[in-house]
Amino acid sequence: MPPTVVVTEPIDAPCADWLAGRATVLQRPYQQLDALHAALATADALIVRTYTRVDAALLDRAPNLRVVGRAGVGLDNIDLPACRDRGITVVYTPDANSAAVAEYVFALILDQLRPRTTLTPDTTPETFHQLRKQDTGTQLDTLTLGVLGFGRIGRRVARIAHAIGMRTLVHDVLPIPDPPTNPPCIPVDQPTLLSDSDILTIHTDGRPDNRHLLTRDQLTALKPTCILINTARGMLIDHNALAAWAAANPQARAILDVHDPEPPNPADPLFALPNVRLLPHTASRTNHALRNMSWVVRDVAAVLDGRTPDHPA
């Protein structure tokens, strides 16, 4: 009998078709708990993305489970010790969306600093010249970019910044070679990163120790004109502290693609602030990145076949 794979969130169609040729695939959305729990009773593998919480309670419903595939990068929605205790292999796609997220960060920066107004056929000569004066931006190579988190995505962001000519500061909880050469950038302690960055972009993971990595003390250390970008995890920033900082610093900007909770609560005070922009968690959503993440099915199939996966967690 072919193995049974339960899929709780959408994966790319060619990857799903590839998997269907090797296993019995059951699509069971994570929101439909009764159907999901029933399918887990006979599941050999489970494939999730962002919103399925793989914890001990879920694993207890899947006595035959051999592998969990995370179609994505972060693993904070998967209880790795609980999987390990049950002999369940966890596989993921660690570099699948790095380019997509890094590109998105610079799209956000350019949206903020290089305004662009589209001409219409009824634009008068007077309006044309007004727009030329109005749409004056800030050149990126005059600014300092701070990168908090120097993993795959953080390094790629720093490489782009270096190519543009930005002064780039980096900080991570793990040691960084001094000086780093690929890309060339300046390792600094966290206080220096916060105080010296014109733009701060966050790329740390969502481990519990990183919850509220930035709260009132860290935010007040930022420049009052800083652009703060979070495309990593919503829980990394204390949203109440962020709202207070944004309100106190009207020339600053906060751009959040991720939220805590997600989707954000309609009562979140950040919605009311004109210098805060909230986005629907789309940094990794390019066609190429979505397919790269969905190819986690290859490692899932490898484990089911008794082979060594390329990307075990």
Residue 178 pLDDT more than 80? no
Q: DSSP states of 50-106 as a string?
A: SS--B-HHHHTT-TT--EEEESSS--TTB-HHHHHHTT-EEEE-TTTTHHHHHHHHH
pLDDT tens readout for residues 59-93: 999 999 999 999 999 898 999 999 999 999 999 99
* CA separation for the pair 287, 260 (Å, rounded): 26
pLDDT band at 174; cut points 50, 70, 90: confident
CA 244, distance to chain mean position in Å, is 24
Residue 20 CB coordination number (10 Å): 13
Peptide bond into 263 cis (omega under 30): yes
Q: Going from the N-terminus, what domains does the chain have, and what CATH number goes with each?
A: 4-96+288-304 (3.40.50.720), 98-278 (3.40.50.720)
Residue 207 pLDDT more than 70? yes
Q: Given the residues 66, 203, 233, 253, select the one marked as catalytic.
A: 233
Contact partners, residue 189, CB within 8 Å, separation at least 6: 171
pLDDT band at 185; cut points 50, 70, 90: very high
Question: Dihedral through CA 15, CA 17, CA 19, CA 22, nearest 10?
Answer: -150
Q: Is 233 a catalytic residue?
A: yes
* CA separation for the pair 12, 5 (Å, rounded): 15
Range in 183-187, 199-203, 256-260 the model is least confident about: 183-187
Question: How high is the mean pLDDT of the chain?
Answer: 96
Q: Is 281 a catalytic residue?
A: yes
Report whether 133 contacts 109 (CB < 8 A).
no
Strands, E, within the chain: which ranges?
4-7, 24-27, 45-48, 67-70, 89-92, 144-148, 167-171, 186-187, 199-202, 227-230, 253-256, 276-278
* CA separation for the pair 156, 134 (Å, rounded): 32
* CA separation for the pair 69, 83 (Å, rounded): 12
Q: Given the residues 37, 159, 262, 285, select the one marked as catalytic.
A: 262
Q: Given the residues 212, 216, 281, 311, select the one marked as catalytic.
A: 281
For residue 45, which of 103, 94, 4 has the smallest C-alpha distance?
A: 4
Report whether 76 contacts 210 (CB < 8 A).
no
Beta pairing, strands 167-171 & 186-187: parallel
Residue 134 CB coordination number (10 Å): 10
Contact partners, residue 139, CB within 8 Å, separation at least 6: none
